[in-house]
Structure 1
């Protein structure tokens, strides 16, 4: 079964998510941004969600994770929880 390892930053608006994507792509530390900005409890762990398979995450989030390549920062992705900035840490 395909699995993905991802980290994310959950924020309240598309604008905020886009600003964080730009900061990550310009070299800012993803984990530090997650600890400071993420509304998800995983933020305290730098946004790490660990390994998960298909069917374990909400559909838009899962689709973005499995479509991306290892090392990609993808988003903004909207779910019922808010807006996500996702980093693909690994795939197997």
Structure 2
């Protein structure tokens, strides 16, 4: 079976904003609450959850970051055509 990832993300327009959000998460702020407050993606309303996805379902930069991470990792900023992402890898299988 091909590897799948369950991830959440926060999408913002600037790298500076993404770094600021990442610092808040490292300081103990709740990822899901920050996603609801700051994410430009419709998934933000659900705490950033994207559900399960396999290879070829997301843009390359986002996918590469997710598939090279371990469960529980928080990554970013990851730049894509949509903006800057902070990514939380919830589960892998």
Q: TM-score, normalised by structure 2?
A: 0.98
Unaligned ranges ≥5, structure 2 = none
- In the alignment, which residue of structure 2 is the partner of 1:89? 90
Per the alignment, in what secondary structure is the counterpart of residue 87 of structure 1? strand
Task: Quote how far apart the aligned CAs of 1:48 are.
Answer: 0.1
Q: Which runs of 4+ in 1 moved over 3 A?
A: none
**Distance in 2 (alpha carbons) for counterparts of 1:70 and 1:25:** 16
**Distance in 1 (alpha carbons) for counterparts of 2:65 and 2:22:** 14
**Distance in 2 (alpha carbons) for counterparts of 1:23 and 1:55:** 31
- In the alignment, which residue of structure 2 is the partner of 1:35? 36
Per the alignment, in what secondary structure is the counterpart of residue 61 of structure 1? helix
**Distance in 1 (alpha carbons) for counterparts of 2:74 and 2:23:** 10
- In the alignment, which residue of structure 2 is the partner of 1:58? 59
Per the alignment, in what secondary structure is the counterpart of residue 67 of structure 2? helix
CA RMSD, 1 decimal: 0.4
Count of aligned residue pairs for this structure pair: 92
Unaligned ranges ≥5, structure 1 = none
**Distance in 2 (alpha carbons) for counterparts of 1:49 and 1:26:** 24
Per the alignment, in what secondary structure is the counterpart of residue 28 of structure 1? coil
Task: Quote how far apart the aligned CAs of 1:54 are.
Answer: 0.3
Task: Quote how far apart the aligned CAs of 1:25 are.
Answer: 1.1
Q: TM-score, normalised by structure 1?
A: 0.99
